[in-house]
Chains A and B, each alone.
Chain A
C-alpha cells in the first residue's frame, strides 16, 4: 500500500477514536462533571482532527473543524461558559464533524445544514467576545491562521530592498546573536552553514564586544558575524528564511553590497573549516573545556574558528553509536494482519481439542489419576487454556467502539420523539472478541431506539407522575461467567401488559383465555408476529423489531431476557459468548458420524423410554416430555443417512429454536461437552441445509455443527401438516 494511504487509514481510525473522546468529553461537561482537563481533551480532539485533515487536504472538514475549534478555544480560555445550551450546539457540531469525517472516508456523499450550525458556533464565539476577555472575531482568527500549506512566518527585519538591484552581486549579512538565542539552542554555526548553501561566503567575526576573561559570562553573547554572500540570484527572502527561527533573538540586517568589501578585522577565506564533521585533532582551545563547550561554543572570543570545531568534536564524542540507541520508543501496540491472528486462533483451538482427546485416551488406557502422566496432562490442560485465553485476548476489543455510537443515536431519537434522555454508559472497557463486537451494533441500536421511543414517557407524562422530565437510559456491559452481559435499562413506564396481551390475542399469538404469567406476557414482544403489523407502531408496548433483535442475538449464540416493572421501567439483558471463533458444543454420535450441537440451543438431554415416542401421521414422531409433546427429529434421517429407526437405543436432546419452539433431536450417543473451533463450511465447500459450520476434531476428522433452527424448519416443511403442528405447539 502507498504509505500515505496507510497513514490516511490510520488517520480515519484515529478520527473515530477522537470523535468518541470528543462526544464523551462533551457529555461529561453536560453533566457538570467536567474539569479543565475535559475541556482541554475536547479541544485537542477537534484540533487533532483538523490537523490530520489538513495534512490530507480535506478542506471542507478542515474549514468546519476550524470554526468548531475556535468556539472550543473560547471555552478553553474561559471566555465561553460550557452551559447546557452551549454544549447542545457543541454536541451537534461534534455530530456534524463525524459526518464530515464520514464524507471524507467516502461513506457518505452529501452534507447539509452546515451553514446554520456554523452561524451558531460563530455566534457563540463572537458572543463570548462581549465577556471579560476581548476576543477577535472568527474571520480575523481565521485569517490569522494559515492552515493550508507550509507557511513560515515572514519576518520583516529591516527596510532594505526586497530584490537585489541589478548589477549588485553580493549580499552583506550582519548578525549579532543575543544570549537568549543560544539558550534556545540556536547557534551561529548552522546558520552560517545554511548561508553557504546559497552561495560562496566570506565570513568575519567582530570580537570587539568580548570582555576580558574575568568579566566573561560563559552564557553571554558577544560576537557579531559579518557575511558577504556572493549569490546575486538569491532573493532576500531566502536569506531571511535562514534566520527565521532567531528573529527577535538577534540583531540582524541584510543589505545588498554596493561597492567594496567592508574592512574585515578577521576574515575567513572559506567557511569549510568551520563545518567539519569530525576533525581528527580538535585544536586545543579555551572553550574546549567540557563544561563550556557544549553550551555555547560559538560565542566566546579569540577562538571563533576553533570553537565550533571543538564543539563538533565534543558532539561527536558525546553522540553514542547508532546501534547503541534504542531504535524505537517502546510502541504500545503493533498492527497485525487479522488473518494471522485468525490462523493462530484456529491452531490454538485445535490444540485445545487435541489436548482433550489426548487426556481422554490416557484416561481410557487405565492410567491412575495420580500418575505422573495424568498430572502432566493436567498441567498441559491448564497451559492450553491459558494460551487459548491469551490468544483470544489478541482479538478482544472494548465494547466502547459500539457504545460510543449510542449517545448520538440517543440524541437523535430523543429529538425525533420529543423526549428528554440522559444516556449513562457503564463498563465500556469490557472486552469482547472483534467478531462479536461487529455484530453487536445492530441489535443495540434497535434496543436503544426502542427504550427511548417506547419505554420512556414524554416530559409532560413524566412530570405528571412525579418523575424528573429527563429520562435515564442505562447501557452497561460486564463479564459474567465466561460470557458478556449487556443491559439496557430505562426508568420509563414499563411494559403495558394489558396492551401487549390485547395485541397478542388480535394477532393470534395466544388464545383469548390463555393464562399467562407477567413474564410470559413480556416475552410476547419478541414474538415474530407481534411487531410486523404497521398498525401497532404507535402502541405503548415495545413491539417494533424486537423479534429481529432476538434473532440476531441468537445468531450470535446469545440470549435475551426482560424484566419490567410497570411505572418504573424495563431492563433488557443480553448474554453473549465472548467470541464466535469457538463454540461450546455437545459432541454426539449419529451412525458413524460425529456431530456437534451448540450448547446454547440445548435445553436438556433425555433418555426416552420406548413408550415416550409416538408415531404421528405416516412419517412423523413426537416425544412426550413431562406430559407435553414435542416434535421428534431423527438427525440421521434428516441428514439423509438412514431411515428412521426409533426402536433402538438412543438419546434425545431437547432443543429450543430461535423462535422459541421446542424439538427433540434423536442421536445415538452423547460423547460430551467440548469447545470446538468453528470453520466455515460455506467458504470451504458450500452451504448445506441443517448444517451451520464445521470443526476439526482432535483426531483430525471433520465434524459438522448442526443448525438447530434449520433442522426444525426442515422438519416442519417435510412432516405433519400445519394444522396438526399447531395442536401440539403449546
Chain B
C-alpha cells in the first residue's frame, strides 16, 4: 500500500531532498513550505506520516505539531521532526508538543525510511 508522507520544510533544497529520498512506489509525497501551509495542506490530505522542520517562518515546527495534535483527525498521525537542532531541551519541547520521533539533519535516506517505518501504523 502506498504510504502518504507530508513533509513540511521552508527550505526548497530540503524539500527536494526529501522528495528524492522518498521517490518510488512506496511513498506518495505531499509538501508544505511552513507550519501554516502544513496545516492547510493537512486539511486536504490524509498523510500516514508527517515529517516537519522546526525553524520555519509563519508557524514553526512546535506550533505546527501542536496544531496537528489539536485536530481530532490527526491525533494519532505519527509526526517525525527533521531538524539540525539536537539539544535535549528542544527535543523535549518537540515531544511535549506531540512529536512522535526525530531525525537529525542531514539525514540518511535509508535511516529516514527506517524511521518512517518505525512510526507508521
Residues of A within 8 A of B (CB): 3-4, 6-7, 10-11, 13-14, 37, 40-41, 43-44, 47-48, 50-52, 54-55, 144-153, 182-187, 189-191, 194, 242, 244-245, 248-249, 277-278, 294-296, 311-312, 315-316, 318-320, 322, 325-329, 332
Judge whether B78 and A185 touch: CB under 8 Å.
yes
Given contacts A41-B57, A153-B91, A187-B121, contact A146 B104 (CB under 8 A): yes
Q: A184-B99, A185-B78, A185-B79 are in contact. Are A52 and B14 (CB under 8 A)?
A: yes
- Decide: A150 near B4, CB < 8 A? Known: A10-B16, A44-B55, A187-B121: no
Closest-by-CB residue of A relative to B77 is: A185
Residues in chain A near residue B102, CB distance under 8 A: 153, 245
Do residues B46 and A327 form an inter-chain contact, with CB atoms below 8 A? no
The minimal Cβ–Cβ distance linking A416 to chain B, given in whole angstroms, is 35
CA distance A145 to B88 in the complex (A): 10
Bound state CA distance, A4 and B75, in angstroms? 35
Contacts between chains A and B (CB distance < 8 A), count: 160
Do residues B86 and A144 form an inter-chain contact, with CB atoms below 8 A? yes
Chain A residues whose CB sits within 8 angstroms of the CB of B33 once the complex forms: 332
Identify which of A44, A54, A311, A320 contacts B106 (C-beta below 8 A): A54
A52-B11 in contact (CB<8A): yes
A-B contacts, 5 listed (Cβ < 8 Å): A144-B87, A185-B77, A185-B79, A325-B28, A327-B28
- Which of B28, B32, B55, B106 meets A322, CB within 8 Å? B28
Query: Which of A146, A151, A191, A277 is close to B1, meaning CB atoms less than 8 Å apart?
Result: A277
Which residues of B83-100 are within 8 A (CB) of A? 84-88, 91, 95, 98-100
Closest to A319 in B: B46
Docked CA distance A327–B6 (Å): 11
A145, B86: Cβ atoms under 8 Å?
yes
Q: Are A44 and B14 in contact (CB under 8 A)?
A: no
6 extra interface residue pairs, beta carbon distance < 8 Å, beyond A52-B11, A55-B106, A189-B121? A41-B57, A245-B118, A296-B76, A325-B45, A327-B28, A329-B32
The total of chain B residues at the interface (CB under 8 A) is 56
Contacts of B75 in A (CB 8 A): 183, 185, 294-295
CB < 8 Å neighbour of B108 from A13, A149, A184:
A149
Q: How far is the CA of A153 from the CA of B94 in the complex (A)?
A: 14
Q: How far, in angstroms, from A47 to B1 measured CA to CA in the complex?
A: 36
Minimum C-beta distance from B99 to chain A (A) = 6
Q: Which residue of B lies closest to A69 (CB)?
A: B84
Pair B101/A51 contact, Cβ less than 8 Å: no
Does B41 interact with chain A (Cβ within 8 Å)? yes
B31 contact set on A, CB distance < 8 A:
328-329
Shortest A526–chain B CB gap in Å is: 43
Most central of B88, B104, B120 by chain A CB within 10 Å: B104
Contacts of A191 in B (CB 8 A): 118
- Tell me whether B51 is interfacial, beta carbon within 8 Å: no
Tell me, rounded to whole Å, the shortest Cβ–Cβ distance linking B63 to chain A: 12
CA distance A320 to B17 in the complex (A): 26
Say how far B18's CB is from chain A's closest CB, in angstroms: 10
Contact of B86 among A43, A151, A189, A277 (CB under 8 A): A151
CB nearest to B65 among chain A residues: A184
The list of the 6 closest CB pairs from A to B, nearest first, reads A245-B101, A55-B106, A11-B13, A150-B108, A52-B13, A54-B106
The residue on A at minimum CB distance from B110 is A150
Given A186-B119, A194-B117, A325-B30: A145 and B105 within 8 A (CB)?
no
User: Measured between alpha carbons, how far is A7 from B109 in the docked complex, in Å?
Assistant: 15
Chain B neighbourhood of A152, CB < 8 A: 103-104, 111
B111's partner among A150, A318, A332 (CB-CB below 8 A) is: A150
B79 A329 Cβ-Cβ under 8 A: no
Residue of B nearest to A278 (CB): B1
A190: B residues at CB distance < 8 A: 117-121
